């Protein structure tokens, strides 16, 4: 069998036709003889995942993937035992060797090992009962929810609430993550304490930012005349004992499994604020959308697997073309937080320098994920995409159905701009002078939802979870640990404890800010 190293060498040495050449239907002669161009290329490199209601189109034709590259990546998937790793993921086996854990997030939406799915469904059922009881008034009048969490315990809830609760919201949700008290004060200013619940979301129930913010939120309730502040708290955690110890009543603890990673936990009770905002019916539709992607990812082989195909393109740009970043532009105001969410998912998962079996990696790992919303970004950062010296693969995400009720001109212009950018990046244009020259040949992929409803959002997120996993498997790394975040936390603790000396710069900063012991 060809080794991974040989396949990377083969990929590096493949001819590098431009996107224009790949699209020209009459390319003939040599190895490119059977390379489909034009509409055939679009047919080869785009496909849909069907959801309960509508579906999503994934068009990867404006990337440099061609038959030869795809064939090499398919062999790489075999060399890296992609099918075996995927079976382990869905079989609930250990796929996070440094922590000896499975990664059970797919079970939360009904995919995978039967016993684990059953356990997950029971927990979601329990969350649903609490959400519905609150909606029906079991905890009195509830107008606001302050959701306190950070990292994976905040980014998913913030995205889900922002994307889905615009037309109708059962409850006004504020997600607070930063230890900077300004964040919490902002939420306080928008809430009536007598009608506010506090969700404390922390997998470990030990994170200093979250626990400090939670204490301050309880104090705010108390200072504002709420007689039993503790009775207004819901805990979302994989450490229910910790929550009990902290003082939360067991009936208001919504647990989730230790084997669900923080950045993969939106489907668990960490999704409570989403369910509070949009109701359980939409939350279940959100899970169903993710389940449809699970099925596609689990049951499709080779490049026909749209998730795996996206990972092929990701790795082609990172490892063969040396791209250090990857940009995501949502042409949809509701997905304004999607780049932030993806940053944690992709960079915390795959920003690694050793393989799963503890050897140095044999090439660059996760690119830097960045992005924003269109059309805003066009007027701010697209200059660099069109004419800068960096090659940046771009994903465009849009919805055919509008999210607004205004004049249809708004949505038409939005979508036309989205498609125009992909076309312009690829085509380029010869200029009268170098400053007006657009080199073109710049890749993009387009993800087009029929509608951006709860199911589509679930599908989009699951697509990216699996895309991240597929990238990791093909690079031979473990995407499920995050030891890189620990050192800074330990140093902060040491500073708080005092009595320790650091480097001269840090010591001087501490002294200047009055923080030296």
Strand-pair partners of 342 = none
- What string marks each residue from 476 to 515 as x (binds ligand G6P by CB under 6 A) or -? ------x--x------------------------------
- Applying CB under 6 A, does 150 fall inside the site for ligand G6P? yes
Query: Of these, 110, 151, 273, 428, which contacts ligand G6P (CB under 6 A)?
Result: 151
Half-sphere exposure at residue 168, Cβ-oriented, CA atoms within 13 angstroms: 6
Contact 452, 335 (CB under 8 A): yes
**Binder to ligand G6P among 18, 169, 204, 300 (CB under 6 A)?**
204
Asked if residue 198 lies in contact with residue 217, where contact means CB atoms within 8 angstroms, the answer is yes
Active site residue 379: yes
Residue nearer to ligand G6P on the CB measure, 108 or 313: 108
110 is an interface residue for ligand G6P by CB under 6 A: no
157 vs 193 by CB, closer to ligand G6P:
157
Separation between Cα atoms, residue 252 and residue 199, nearest integer Å: 10
Footprint of ligand G6P on 174-203 (CB under 6 A): 202-203
- Interface with ligand G6P, residue 343, by CB under 6 A: no
What is the C-alpha to C-alpha distance for residues 431 and 143, in angstroms, rounded to an integer?
Answer: 57
219 and 232 in contact (C-beta within 8 Å)?
Answer: no
Q: How many residues bind ligand G6P (CB under 6 A)?
A: 14
Name which position in 46, 61, 153, 478 contacts ligand G6P (CB under 6 A).
Answer: 153
Q: Which residues pair with 55 in a beta bridge?
A: 50
Q: How far is the CB of 119 from ligand G6P (least distance, A)?
A: 20
Q: Which of 114, 141, 379, 486 is catalytic?
A: 379
* Stretch (H or E) spanning 306: helix 306-315
259 is an interface residue for ligand G6P by CB under 6 A: no
Is 179 or 424 the residue whose CB approaches ligand G6P more closely?
179
Bridge partners, residue 369, by sequence: 326
3-state secondary structure of 410: helix
Of 207 and 318, which CB lies nearer to ligand G6P in the complex structure?
A: 207
Report in angstroms how near the CB of residue 166 gets to ligand G6P at its nearest.
26
Stretch that binds ligand G6P, among 20-28, 102-110, 117-125, 144-152 (CB under 6 A): 144-152
CA distances, 248 to each of 92, 137, 197, 269, 463 (Å): 31, 20, 13, 15, 35
- Beta strand 444-449 with 233-237 is unpaired
**C-alpha to C-alpha distances, 379 to 220, 395, 398, nearest whole angstrom:** 42, 17, 18
Active site residues: 348, 379, 489
Q: Which residues in this chain contact ligand G6P in the complex, by CB under 6 A?
A: 150-153, 202-204, 207, 210, 262-263, 348, 482, 485
């Amino acid at each position: 069998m060809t080794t991974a190293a040989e396949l990377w060498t083969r990929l590096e040495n493949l001819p590098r036709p431009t996107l224009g050449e790949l699209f020209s239907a009459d390319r003939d002669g040599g190895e490119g003889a059977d390379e489909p161009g034009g509409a055939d290329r679009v047919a080869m490199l785009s496909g849909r995942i069907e959801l309960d209601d509508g579906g999503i189109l994934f068009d990867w034709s404006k990337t440099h993937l061609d038959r030869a590259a795809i064939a090499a990546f398919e062999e790489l998937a075999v060399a890296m035992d992609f099918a075996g790793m995927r079976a382990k993921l869905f079989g609930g086996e250990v796929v996070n060797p440094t922590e000896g854990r499975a990664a059970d997030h797919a079970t939360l939406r009904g995919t995978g090992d039967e016993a684990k799915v059953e356990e997950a469904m029971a927990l979601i059922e329990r969350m649903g009962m609490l959400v519905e009881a609150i909606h029906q008034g079991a905890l009195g009048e509830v107008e606001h929810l302050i959701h306190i969490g950070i990292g994976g315990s905040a980014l998913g809830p913030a995205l889900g609430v922002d994307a889905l609760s615009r037309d109708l919201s059962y409850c006004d949700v504020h997600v607070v993550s930063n230890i900077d008290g300004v964040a919490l004060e902002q939420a306080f200013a928008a809430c009536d304490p007598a009608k506010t619940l506090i969700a404390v979301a922390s997998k470990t129930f030990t994170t200093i930012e979250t626990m400090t913010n939670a204490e301050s939120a309880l104090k705010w309730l108390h200072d504002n005349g709420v007689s039993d502040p503790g009775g207004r708290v819901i805990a979302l955690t994989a450490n229910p004992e910790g929550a009990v110890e902290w003082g939360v009543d067991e009936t208001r603890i919504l647990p989730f499994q230790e084997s669900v990673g923080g950045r993969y936990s939106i489907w668990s009770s960490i999704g409570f604020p989403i369910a509070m905002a949009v109701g359980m019916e939409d939350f279940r539709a959100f899970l169903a959308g993710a389940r449809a992607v699970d099925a596609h990812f689990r049951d499709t082989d080779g490049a026909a697997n749209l998730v795996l195909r996206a990972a092929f393109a990701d790795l082609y740009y990172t490892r063969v073309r040396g791209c250090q970043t990857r940009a995501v532009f949502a042409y949809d105001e509701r997905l304004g937080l999607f780049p932030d969410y993806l940053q944690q998912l992709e960079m915390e998962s795959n920003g690694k320098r050793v393989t799963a079996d503890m050897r140095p990696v044999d090439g660059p790992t996760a690119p830097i994920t960045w992005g924003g919303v269109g059309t805003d970004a066009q007027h701010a950062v697209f200059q660099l995409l069109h004419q800068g010296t960096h090659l940046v693969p771009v994903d465009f995400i849009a919805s055919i159905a509008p999210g607004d009720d205004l004049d249809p001109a708004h949505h038409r212009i939005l979508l036309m701009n989205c498609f125009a950018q992909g076309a312009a990046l690829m085509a380029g244009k010869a200029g009268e002078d170098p400053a007006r020259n657009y080199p073109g040949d710049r890749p993009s992929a387009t993800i087009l939802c029929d509608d951006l409803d709860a199911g589509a959002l679930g599908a989009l997120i699951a697509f990216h979870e699996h895309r991240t996993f597929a990238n990791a498997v093909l690079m031979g790394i473990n995407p499920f640990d995050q030891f890189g975040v620990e050192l800074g936390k330990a140093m902060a603790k040491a500073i708080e404890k005092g009595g320790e000396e650091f480097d001269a710069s840090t010591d001087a900063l501490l002294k200047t800010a009055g923080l030296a012991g």
